[in-house]
Structure 1
Amino acid sequence: MFLRAPCKVNLTLDVFNKKEHTDVYHNLDSLVVLFGQPADELRIYIEPSNNKTSITLLCSDSRLANDNRNLAYRAADVYLKHIGEPFHVKIELDKHIPAEAGLGGGSSDAAAVLRALNIYFNHRIDQTALMAMAARLGSDVSSFLAEKPVRMRGYGEIIESLDCELPSLYGVVVRPDTGVSTAHAYALLDAIPNRQPSNGTEQLLSCIRADKDSSIDIVALLAKKLSNDFESVIFAAYPTIAKAYDMVLSAGALRALLCGSGSAVFGLARNSEHAEQLVNQLAPHFPFVSNVSTATLETFTINHI
């Protein structure tokens, strides 16, 4: 099977404090949109085994692990253990989403593996159980299984369909020559005494709901309401990311926004032509620049090979 694993952008990201110091995860509230490019590409080969299950992962990026430290490998392992039958699975992973960028590449790969295996096994695991399996793998995996814009809450296990419709979105994503580990980003937030999380997700969704029957320009509204609790600490700790943010704005984006915990920066465009203009202006200045647009049904097509 051949399929793509798209990237994501958190249009809002509210990060709440842990309930207890021993908690592993922070509670989140976020509006998550999937973009068709950049997207990783996976080729997955499955065949029955006479004795025991084996998983082989071949990755185009030699810096990434090819064992159970890789989310795509772990997704296959968890799914096959649930099935309880021996199979050989080979995954060829061609990486296009940059690592440590806040674009969810590893989580998207894991979701793609779960989708592919569930189709091969004729949806033996229902969607509710599959979403729960995804949540146990990582905080972003469930949002990729939704295949549409969603509100993500909890540590990522609560996925809610939007009660309002978003238009197709266009923009640019740049990644400076700097990565940010998710653990370090959260440590920076936790180091702020008496930090007050924002309420950007509810504010944005309330505005969209209130105006959904009017002729309001949703893109213009988004330009005013996008938010990310990580921005202040990441920009202070990583000057190159702060500079990238400023450059995206200077290029003419309606709004610049840190992607997840960084290091990539999203620039919102009016339309596809504006997005292409942003790409052309920014491409000479960054090692990674991509034109992005909202993922479509075609993005999630699985082709048999």
Structure 2
Amino acid sequence: MICFPNAKINLGLQIVSRREDGYHNIETVFYPIGLREALEIVPAHPEVTPATTGLASDTRDIGSDEKPSQPTPYRFFQTGDVIQGNEADNLVIKALKLISANKTLSPIDIHLLKKIPSGAGLGGGSSDAAFMLRMLNDYFRLRYSDTALMHLAARLGADCPFFIHNRPAFASGIGDILEPITLDLSSWFLLLVKPDIVVNTKEAYAMITPRQPELSLKEIVTKPVTEWRGVMKNDFEPPVFEKYPQICRIKQQLYDLGAVYASMSGSGSSLFGFFHSEPDLKGMFKDHFVWSNKEL
């Protein structure tokens, strides 16, 4: 079984208050985009055993209160823009661990073709996790409801529940309280640019003083896109732009190219712009990751 986890952009983002648990309450608008990767699970080779593979049974790091079932042997393969690090820290594997906490699953091979840049504010890892939960639910016929899947996804990360329904939404709380909205931006030319910079989200939050917004993003997003500039804001931009002037320059370049609205997504480092038609890049952004919803 194969699925295609997609990225998201934050059309705006406001840091409303700091919580007692150390997290922040935010308001944001999530919008899914067509930048995708591929995630596949297949029955494991007969030789796959607990002795030759990873085991998806330890859920101590993801808050499961369930008694673990029998370990689920798996093999995990990554291609494309592979994320280095401990395999057990990958959200795809954490999603498998979470399901395996109280469900007995047969051995599987997992293949992730990574295309969404990491450290970009695009939710690639969160999308992988949510799509993995959905795919395991379908593949093993576990009969979890969407509500149950969203609760499971919330254990993996604040952005993860959004990708269960994967449709435009106003988000509050830590980003996990979702209200679907009606929004179709498919007629616009969307250009996404990510420089070779990774923004540390924790550091970005530390540089912000939370404030109550004068106007909620829920109201702003109902206005025409042509009226968003100067009104729809991302509170991460001032501190991130100060530390990384290159990111600020890219936003200005998007406006210089004719964008009617441009913004950084999440805590960065990717930026996006909405255009009436395809802009002439004139060789710009050659050293950056560039993606568009229409052929360039």
* Category of TM-score, reference length = shorter chain: 0.7 to 0.9
Query: Corresponding residue for 2:292?
Result: 291
Q: Against the structure 1 CA distance between its residues 174 and 161, is the aligned structure 2 distance closer, same or farther, given a 3 Å change threshold?
A: same
Query: Corresponding residue for 1:301?
Result: none
Farther-moved stretch of structure 1 (118-127 vs 90-99): 118-127
* 1:77 aligns to 2:92 (yes or no): no
Q: CA deviation at 1:62?
A: 4.0
Structure-to-structure mapping, 1:82-101, within 5 angstroms: 82-83=102-103, 85-101=104-120
Farther-moved stretch of structure 1 (127-136 vs 169-178): 169-178
* Cα displacement string for residues 94-126 of structure 1 (whole angstroms, at most 9, x for unaligned residues): 111111110111101111111111111335111
CA contact (8 A) 2:73 2:108 kept: yes
Q: 2: CA distance between counterparts of 1:290 and 1:14?
A: 25
* 1:196 aligns to 2:196 (yes or no): no
Q: CA deviation at 1:200?
A: 4.1
Helix, strand or coil at the partner of 2:102: helix
User: Which amino acid in 2 is paired with 1:290?
Assistant: W
Q: 1: CA distance between counterparts of 2:93 and 2:272?
A: 29
Q: Against the structure 1 CA distance between its residues 90 and 161, is the aligned structure 2 distance closer, same or farther, given a 3 Å change threshold?
A: same
Q: 2: CA distance between counterparts of 1:8 and 1:252?
A: 22
Query: Corresponding residue for 1:229?
Result: 235
Q: Against the structure 1 CA distance between its residues 12 and 284, is the aligned structure 2 distance closer, same or farther, given a 3 Å change threshold?
A: closer
Q: CA deviation at 1:284?
A: 4.2
User: Which amino acid in 1 is paired with 2:7?
Assistant: C
CA contact (8 A) 1:16 1:197 kept: yes
* 1:45 aligns to 2:46 (yes or no): no
What is the RMSD computed on CA atoms of the aligned residues?
2.3
Query: Corresponding residue for 1:11?
Result: 11
Tell me which of 154, 157, 182 is aligned to 1:138. 157
* Cα displacement string for residues 224-264 of structure 1 (whole angstroms, at most 9, x for unaligned residues): 54321111111011111111111111121112101110000
- Specify which structure has the higher proportion of helix: 1
CA contact (8 A) 2:193 2:272 kept: yes
Greater relative contact order, per chain length (Cα 8 Å cut-off, separation 6+): 1
Q: 2: CA distance between counterparts of 1:165 and 1:54?
A: 42
Tell me which of 171, 181, 184 is aligned to 1:166. 184
Tell me which of 160, 168, 192 is aligned to 1:149. 168
Helix, strand or coil at the partner of 1:133: helix
* Cα displacement string for residues 21-57 of structure 1 (whole angstroms, at most 9, x for unaligned residues): xx142112111100012x1211222469996312322
Structure 2: runs of 5 or more not aligned: 50-69
Q: 1: CA distance between counterparts of 2:134 and 2:262?
A: 32
User: Which amino acid in 2 is paired with 1:17?
Assistant: S
* 1:108 aligns to 2:150 (yes or no): no
* 1:239 aligns to 2:258 (yes or no): no
Q: 2: CA distance between counterparts of 1:80 and 1:46?
A: 16
* Identical-residue share of aligned pairs (%): 33
Q: 1: CA distance between counterparts of 2:283 and 2:219?
A: 31
Q: CA deviation at 1:197?
A: 4.2
* 1:277 aligns to 2:279 (yes or no): yes
CA contact (8 A) 1:102 1:261 kept: yes
Helix, strand or coil at the partner of 1:97: coil
TM-score for both structures, normalised by structure 1: 0.80
Structure 1: runs of 5 or more not aligned: 209-217, 294-305
Helix, strand or coil at the partner of 1:179: coil
CA contact (8 A) 1:200 1:225 kept: no
Helix, strand or coil at the partner of 1:242: helix
CA contact (8 A) 2:121 2:270 kept: yes
Q: 1: CA distance between counterparts of 2:282 and 2:216?
A: 30
Q: CA deviation at 1:146?
A: 1.4
TM-score for both structures, normalised by structure 2: 0.83
Query: Corresponding residue for 1:56?
Result: 75
User: Which amino acid in 2 is paired with 1:246?
Assistant: Q
CA contact (8 A) 2:234 2:264 kept: yes
